[in-house]
Structure 1
Amino acid sequence: MFNDNSLKTTRLIEKIEKIAVSAGEIVKRHYSRGVANVFKSVRQVATDADKESEQLLKEGLLKIYACGFYGEEGGGDISHHGDHWIVDPLDGTENMSGYPPLLAVSIGLLRDGKPVLGVIYDPIHATLYSAQEGEQVRVNGEAALARTQVDPAKAIVALDFSSRMETRPQTLQQLARVLERARAAKIFGAPALSLAEVAVGRLDLFFRPSTKLSDMVAGICMVRASGGKVVDYGGRDWTMDSEGVIAGSTQMVEAYLPCFRQA
């Protein structure tokens, strides 16, 4: 069973990283040969890669540690108590059918509702991000030396739209206010990757109206492990019940928060 000490063992995190890479190989194989989308809802799609990747993740992670499990495709039970694996077997499914080639496998661990471990793997660019509460963020096994931009006017801000149509007018208004201050804005279509890039300092801020746990847990652990701040649109510390997420350095979050507090 995991405990605070075992979570921080190098051997354990390496096992989780290997599982993420194996799932990423499934994703990359499907991406290389092309995939057919199946609509889960009017605006959400899934592929065979999602399902195969999640099955591998579930089997591998529960073999390491049998606790709660929630997957983007298969669902599961989540509570505010105990430990729960939270996985997105393929973040960026919309990108599977074309450009940009930005995809990720995301593995997070929630402990009593708090993200304490995160592993994110970008199989197209063979980039592996990992973090644990109280430890440095690592990229491909090496400690990440995060670059921190302190000037809000020079910030590169990433965002992601929700599939919920009712949120989009508000997101566009927020984006318009952000663009009055920022140097540039980007949409990756893979929120886990956006959060990982905030953690290592290649993006300065990320925001999104929807906070699906499968997209968020691993990346939020990374941002916080890097010394960053993650809040909801009201400026309160992010929790698993939050609506809306803003992640970045303390300075950037505070500088851009007024963009989200306006009606």
Structure 2
Amino acid sequence: MAELQVRHLLAPVIELALQAGLLIEAELSRPDGPRGSGDKAEIDVEIEKLLREGLQQILACDFVGEETGVDLSGHRFAWVVDPNDGTADFLKRRPGSAVSIGLLRDGTPVLGVVYAPVNAHGPDCIAWAEGLQTLLRNGQPVSRDLCSATLSSDSVVFVSYSAYLKPEQNAVLCRPAIFHPMPSIAYRLARVAAGDGIAAVSLYSVSTHDVVAAHALLRAVNGDIWNERGELLRYASPNAFSCSVRFCFGGAQAACAELYSRPWNSLLDTGSASEVSGDEPDNMILSELMALAIDVLGDQNIAKAWFHTPALGLSGFSPIDLLSTAQGSVQVRDLLQRMRYGVYQ
């Protein structure tokens, strides 16, 4: 298939991603919350079946899916799909999970669509295919070039949601940039490509379905992805990297080189970065609500100040004063959700 035809595949792939996003929205709106537990959601399988059928109609070729399996025949093209990257956070009703659809041609990412239908800034679809001069973000062209980009006090490094549990360590590891936690490595990488950050980091072992789509987006802006040893991520097959990957760093080359040289293992020395010791339930609640407040208010410092400010919606109490009880924590969470949708008065 010629390069020009690859570009022509993008519009129907975007449309398919938007359809999948409607299923994610509907699942989050269920009165009892999304179905599933741990890192397995029932909607993920339903979405991937939709995507598999639709993508094969767009281009019949090999397929790598997180949920419905791998079909490899040696075809030079392969769809690589994560139906809902960030499932564990999605099941906790945290916004920011993403549909990730990538296309490999002879092991090279030539098309990518990453769509986060529910997040603090509204639905966000970032897409590109070989042959386009720029990325498309929600249908609008975005010019971006990571060639000379470096870490600075004005830049942002996207890290996993659990970074809220160890803010001081993450701040040191990302400095002089600001760190911003969020679900979905696919969406973190996509936001870097679109211009929201300088680099994205994952301290969890990634698979090809996590990164192929975003890798295509980074290719479009002269970015790339490296492992913890500074080796470029490349594909031995549509479902296997050519090198082992423990941590991954995606974005501008200079920024990622500086980041992967830092001691990220220090975050994992006392266990998983997503774990909190059982004798600190209040800290766990505070971390989760702080994450929600940052998503709603859009700034980490503003969110911290908000927790210590008397709120009319809490009968004049400061949010921090109510977190010592389960009922108070529910009140704070409900207020933040009402603020998100503009119904807090």
What range describes the TM-score normalised by the shorter chain of this pair? Answer: 0.7 to 0.9
One of 141, 144, 147 as aligned partner of 1:146: 144
One of 227, 248, 253 as aligned partner of 2:251: 248
Structure 1 189/262 Cα, relative in aligned 2: closer, same or farther at 3 Å? closer
Match of 1:36?
Answer: 35
Match of 1:13?
Answer: 10
Return 235-244 or 186-195, whichever deviates more: 235-244
The 8 Å contact of residues 102 and 188 in structure 1, kept in 2 or not, is answered as yes
Task: State the alpha-carbon separation in 1 of the partners of residues 111 and 48 from structure 2.
Answer: 18
Residue by residue, what CA displacement relative to the aligned partner does 1:139-160 show, whole Å, maximum 9, x if unpaired? 0111113386544344321223
Match of 1:83?
Answer: 77
The 8 Å contact of residues 89 and 183 in structure 2, kept in 1 or not, is answered as yes
**2:98 alignment partner AA:** A
Match of 2:157?
Answer: 157
Match of 1:165?
Answer: none
**2:190 alignment partner AA:** A
Unaligned runs of 5+ in 1: 40-44, 163-167
Task: State the alpha-carbon separation in 2 of the partners of residues 79 and 232 from structure 1.
Answer: 28
1:128-139 correspondence runs (5 A): 128-133=125-130, 135=132, 136-139=134-137
**2:126 alignment partner AA:** Y
Task: State the alpha-carbon separation in 1 of the partners of residues 35 and 100 from structure 2.
Answer: 22
Matched, 1:186 2:180: yes
Give the alignment's TM-score, normalised by structure 2: 0.64
- SS in structure 1 of the partner of residue 201 of structure 2: strand
- Measure how far apart 1:65 and its partner are: 0.9
- SS in structure 1 of the partner of residue 3 of structure 2: coil
Task: State the alpha-carbon separation in 1 of the partners of residues 72 and 214 from structure 2.
Answer: 18
Task: State the alpha-carbon separation in 2 of the partners of residues 234 and 146 from structure 1.
Answer: 26
Task: State the alpha-carbon separation in 1 of the partners of residues 227 and 69 from structure 2.
Answer: 24
Residue by residue, what CA displacement relative to the aligned partner does 1:18-38 show, whole Å, maximum 9, x if unpaired? 111111111111111121214
- SS in structure 2 of the partner of residue 222 of structure 1: helix
Larger radius of gyration: 2
Task: State the alpha-carbon separation in 1 of the partners of residues 131 and 57 from structure 2.
Answer: 25
Kindly tell me the number of residue pairs found equivalent between the two proteins: 247
The 8 Å contact of residues 79 and 113 in structure 1, kept in 2 or not, is answered as no
**1:23 alignment partner AA:** A
Task: State the alpha-carbon separation in 1 of the partners of residues 11 and 220 from structure 2.
Answer: 18
- Measure how far apart 1:123 and its partner are: 1.3
Give the alignment's TM-score, normalised by structure 1: 0.83
Match of 1:226?
Answer: 221
- Measure how far apart 1:81 and its partner are: 6.4
Match of 1:26?
Answer: 23
- SS in structure 1 of the partner of residue 90 of structure 2: helix
The 8 Å contact of residues 110 and 116 in structure 1, kept in 2 or not, is answered as yes
The 8 Å contact of residues 115 and 217 in structure 1, kept in 2 or not, is answered as yes
Task: State the alpha-carbon separation in 2 of the partners of residues 22 and 121 from structure 1.
Answer: 10
Structure 1 261/88 Cα, relative in aligned 2: closer, same or farther at 3 Å? closer
Residue by residue, what CA displacement relative to the aligned partner does 1:89-124 show, whole Å, maximum 9, x if unpaired? 111212223353112111001122221110111112
Unaligned runs of 5+ in 2: 236-240, 267-345
The 8 Å contact of residues 114 and 186 in structure 2, kept in 1 or not, is answered as yes
Match of 1:107?
Answer: 101
Task: Give RMSD over aligned pairs.
Answer: 2.9
- Measure how far apart 1:260 and its partner are: 5.9
Task: State the alpha-carbon separation in 2 of the partners of residues 110 and 72 from structure 1.
Answer: 16
- SS in structure 2 of the partner of residue 15 of structure 1: helix
